[in-house]
Each structure stands twice: as C-alpha cells, then as structure tokens.
Structure 1
Amino acid sequence: MTGGSARREGPGLLRGLSGKVLLMTILFVMLGEVLIFLPSIANFRIQWLKGRIAQAEIAALAAEAAPDRILSPDLRTEILKGAGVLVVSLTRGETRKLMLRSETDHMIDASYDLRNVSWPAAIGDAFAVLLQPGGRVIGVIDKPPNMSGDMIEVALFENPLREAMLRSGLNIFLLSVVLSVIVAGLVYLALNIVLIRPMKRLTRNMMIFAQNPEDRSRIIVPSARNDEIGIAERELHDMQSELAAMLQQKSRLAALGLAVAKVSHDLRNMLSSAHVISDRLSMAEDPTVKRFAPKLIVSLDRAISFLTATLKFGRAEEAAPMRERLPLKDVAEEVIDTAVLQASSRVVLFNHVPPGLIIDADREHLNRVLTNLMRNAIQALEARDDGMDGRVIVSAWREGAVVVIEVRDNGPGIPERVRPKLFEAFQSAAKPGGVGLGLTIAAELIRAHGGEIRLKGTGPEGTVFQVVVPDAVVELRPGRRGARSHS
C-alpha cells in the first residue's frame, strides 16, 4: 500500500500540468515579443537617422541664409554639432552642393539609402549596428523632409546611434519581460480555471474511485459544462457507474457461488435419500406410482449428477456437450411429462414436434433448455387473471443442417423493462421470487452447441422463443488406396 500511495502522489510544480502550462506560456509570449522586437529596433534606427537628416537640413538652410553664405569656423562647428552630423550636402536637379563640412576629414565606412528600404534589409542593418565595433562613420541618403532639394546626404558618427539603439533595446526588453509575466500570468490563470482545475478534479476522482470501485459514493458528479471537459466528466460518470454495477454483480455472483456450493452439498445428500425412497416406491403395485416413479427416479438421478459435477469442479461453467443423434419428439415429451406435474389445470401443453425429426445435441443439455423455456411459459400463463386457458406449443423443423425449435405461448408477454437484458444473469426475473438465471443457463448451453436462442416475438398475444441447434461438423478423411500392386 505504501508503494502504491507513493506512486500515485501528484507531480511537482514544474513536472505537473500547471507548471508546464506556465513555462510554455512564458516561452511563447517571449517568442512573440522577440518577433515584435526585431521590427521595432529596425524602425527605431530608421527614425533616428531621419531625425538627423531633418536636423542636418535645417542646419544647411541656416548656413545658406548667412550673409554672403560665410560662416565662422566656430559657428559652423556649433551648427554641425547641434545637428549631430559631420558633412551635409544637398542635390537640386543636376547640381550637388556641399552645404556644411567639419574641419576634419573622415572616411565613410558604410553608406545607407533611406529612400527605399525593405523590412528584411532594415532588420539586418539594425543588427549590423549593434554587432559592429564602435567608431564607424556612416553616410546616409534621403529625401529632404522640407523639400529643400531633391536629395540630402549626410555623414555622421555611428556611436550615438548605437548607444541610442542599445538603450531602446533595453527598454523594449524590460517592457517585454513585464508584458510576458503579466500575459503569462493571465493566460495561466485562465487555463488553470478553465482546464487545469477540472483535469485535477478528474484525476483526483479517478484515484479515489480506484481505491474502492464498488463504492458508488465515489462516482464523479458531472458538472453542467458542455465543452470537452463536460463530455469527459459525463463519460467518466457512465463508465464508473457501469463498472461499479458490474463489480457488485460479480460480488453477488461470488457470494451466490459459495452459497450454491454449500447448498449443493446438503441438497445432494437429501436427494440421495429421496432416491432411495423412490426406489422403494417403484415396488408398489399402484398403477399411478408405477407410471411416475421411473420418471421421478430419472429426475433425481439428473439432479444428483448435476450437483456432484458442481461440487467437483467448484465453478458454474457447463461441461462440454456430449452430442448424439436423438429423436427430438421424445426429448420434448419427457420435458412435457415433467412440466405437466407442475402446471395447473388452466395450462395445456402441446408437442407438435414431427416424429421423425432427429437432432444432434446433448440430451441432458437439451432437456434443461426446454425445461427452462417451458417453466417460464407456464409461470407467465398462470400469472394471467383473465380466466382463459393457457397454451404452450413446442414445435420444430429442420432447415438444412440446422434444427429450429420453437416454444410458443399465449401469455401476456414479456415486460418492456426486462427485454433488453433478457439473457443476462439476475436481470430477467419478471416474477417475484425469481432468480433470473433460467434463460442465461439456456443461452449458455445452446452456445456450447454452436447455436443460439432468441426471442422471436412477444406481446399481448403471447411470446415465441426459437432455439437454433446446428448439426456437429464431422471431419471427413479422404480414402487411402492400398500400396500393394494387383497381381
């Protein structure tokens, strides 16, 4: 029990479904933030460079408006520093004019044209800025924002752009982390309420039910949900109910088997005594006694043999049929002779089996099958309260290698509630005090012959059962010719 309890303990947080959902939610949200980060940092770089272009254009226009377009070195340096560029040139038509230039010459390491940029190229250029070492001088070409010319070209240091991009990237990263935690928490909370908790409830119920499946109080009570969880709860409820009922039936069968073994032992001794007394009665001169005493002795022999077999094997399984070819009319007559003694005067029994009909079956099994069907028909007829006489007709015919036996009565019919489980043990007892094993035993015996028993029809006009018994399959060995030559 200790090992089973330890094995069924719930998993840890990270190994459980809740932890896995949380980690996957965070991972997917971070992945989404990365996909957002890439175009965001590329757009930040483009907008930063366009801002420098706009400032450079204003600086160029200011230098162009100076008297005689002459600026002192200090003023030119301040204007370039304020614009954050090193060189500014404007192109108007076919003329390209250098507007501002620093005192120091610089070599341009890379040049970028912002007039027509694709997003993949922009993302690649942004990552190039972050990955390249500092100190580069870059050239940027764009259309002047104020349309002071057809094209403006600037040169500037890349370090300020790289630092600004790093700060922006850090801000985006921190914001992504915060959003990931918030979104992951909300998603986890929603999934935990909608999915995880119901799954835990299902799992917990299955573990509790498995400890004692026969306890019907442990069966899950389905919720009113109409989604997949609700369907799973209802299916689990149905499965547990069927399993509990099946186990209760098995327990009842086990208890019944033990009781039958005990009763069979004592009943066999009683029947043995009755058999001895019947032998003595058969010596009497009374015609009635002489007529019925042999039948009584045969019935007692059959009962004693059956009880002995039950005690010997200790199980309810039937022995394999000992098949023989026998006249079916004689077997039906034996069954009717016994049933007549049990039936009231309101019941009339008919044997319409053709005299020459031969059946390949076990006599004892066939006698028990017909006895059960006959007894059920008699009980149904005696339960009628309309005062009419009841009829039970046994008929049969052959269809090729199959014999069909029909037991028909004009009783009130089988109740609707009994029909679905007619051949199940303890389910078809329509009469108070009945056990509900007769048809179950009959069906088992006929199946052992390879046949079937079926309800042909039932209703206010009566009930018809048919028993189908196929002939035994005989394996024919081919003839073998002698080996010695004819002389």
Structure 2
Amino acid sequence: MDFTDDVSDLKTLGLDPDDLPDGLVVADETGRVICFNAAAARITASTPAEALGRPVDEALPLEDLKGRRWWTLTDPYGGLAIRSAQPERHLLLPGNREVLVAARYVRQHPAGPLHRLVITLRSTEARLRNERSHAELIATVAHELRSPLTSVKGFTATLLAKWERFTDDQKRLMLETVHADANRVTRLIAELLDISRIDSGRLEVRRQRVDIAAAVRRHVEAQTTAGEDPGRFVTLVSPELPDLWADPDKIDQVLGNLLENAVRHGAGTVTIEVTPSPGQGATAGADGMEGTEVTVSDEGPGIPEESMSRVFTRFWRGSKRGGTGLGLYIVKGIVEAHGGTISVSRAPGGGARFRFTLPVGAPAHLA
C-alpha cells in the first residue's frame, strides 16, 4: 500500500519519516498500517514490509504492564468520538520489551469517525539512563553528606554534653571542624543547585565587567594562603585584554575549580595563562578581539587519552583523592552559559591542560 499522500506534509518540509528519531506508525480509517518508519522497525524488531497493510493491533501487539491488551483498553476506532489522544505511557512489546507509546487521533470533523491514528514509539533506554544518572547522583550526594553531617552531629553532641570538661583550645578545634564540615555541606548543596539549573537551562548569567587577571591573582593568593608554595604558581597575563563582561561569581567558580584540581590532582608547577582570543565574527569586540582565553596547566601525570572524552561528564574523577566528580561538569555548564567553550588536553610538561574561552559579551542590560 502506498502511503506517500498521507505523509506528504513531511515530504513538503523535505523530511522523510525514516529521518525521524522516534518511531512513527500511522493507521488509516480502517485501522490498517500505512506508515511504519525505520525507527519503529528498530524499536519493534519488525520490518516495514511485515507491518504495512496489516491491522495496527497485529502490527503492534502492545500490552500494558499488567498484561492486558492495550488496543482492547483504548479502542481508538470504536471508543469515545471526542477523544483526541493517548498520553505517553510504558507499554510492552512481545518478549516484555518496554516501549514508550503515545497516540494522536486525527478526525476530519469534531466528534467524527477516526480518519488517521498516529502513534509514536520511543525506546526506554534514554529514560533508563537518565534514571540511573539520577540514582547515582542521589547515592553520591548521600555519601558526601554523611561524613560531614556525622562529624557535625558528633562534635556538637560532645560539646553540649561535656562543655565544661574541655579547654578553650579543644573547644576551638572542635568548632573549627564543625565550621569546615558545614562549609562542605554548603558547597555540595550549591553544586546540586547548579546542576539542576544547568540541566534545566535555567542557569542565570549576571554580566558585569570582570577583571580576569585580578581574579586569577586572587585565586593564586588563596592557594598560597592555604599553605601552597608560592613558587609553584606561574601566572602569565597578556598586557592587552579585551573588556570582559561576565558573571564574576561564576567566573570565580570556574577559576577556583580548575586551580584546585591542578593543585590537588596535578604536580609540579601550575601555570595560568590569560590571553586575548582573536576573532573575526560578529562577536568580536571593537578591538578585533573575540574574547579572553584562560589556560590552566600542571606537570602531573595528566589525564589518560581514553578518559579525555569523559572529563566534563558527571561523576568523573581524575584520581581517588575525594570530590564528588561534579565540579568539571558544572564548570563546562557555566562556560557554555556564557557562550564560551572549554577543552582539555595534555600539557607540554605532561600534565593536564584546561583551556576555556569566554566571548567579549555585553553588559546585562545590553545582552
């Protein structure tokens, strides 16, 4: 049976049903299949030749999760004439293979007989991957929260029960530990909020003029104040940088994460380079510069070649030295929210080299 006329709207747009990422099955007014695209064939393990011309309930022998025949329950051709669709739901194909199915009822007249039944099929693999990712995130968060909260609870309970038995120095030490663990919890919660905003596309960028060179120097100073040898850091800043309009707090987050990773997981000298990024496109500034490029490299063992593609994914850890594995995922989200790019490669000294480029941007009221 030729179904070219029934999908002519797709053809007019230069699309073929086989180009669609989801399975598409269309049945005519008699309930026989007139369209069965390549994705539907892949999902159902059938062929278009086997499906075309057959009754739709035979071409798609669907059951609900209780083993009941879906077509008997929904009765698209003999059921309510005012029904226009079936929402997406989990159904089963033969062999208990799960599939996500939605249906649209096309009528030539309101409450008239069914003219076309349009069914979309989607594999559950993507949803299952998403569910596994969420489960892994929950497990990671629970694990990371348990240690500091246990510490906070233990020290506060001890202080409340035996306050008079401790010296001032002992009290201070325990309170400093509680304070540090509370900071860990706060940081983890901030990471979770960032991930939620990145995944939902709601990460807000509040642009201000940012002195990127001063920001780099501030983060290096924070590392040396925390006990790192000042001689371990080399900062190279170009004397002429374009004006950078970005979210200062989020740029601090990016710099802090990359520098902390270089110190914690790398070795030897940590080099931070800040240079203009030349551009010829519409995003280039008045001085011909498209943006600012920042490179952070170390002389440690580097990142294995096979891991390069996973560095910016959730839960990737460069070593076993703690961390949630969420930092670089957030860094990438922040850079891309600014319209920039970030990459990782092997540094000349053998370590890891992270490079991100931020476009010139514009003040928030002009963006």
Structure 2 length-normalised TM: 0.48
Determine which structure has more spread, i.e. the larger CA radius of gyration.
1
Structure 1 length-normalised TM: 0.37
- The structure where helix makes up a greater share of residues is 1
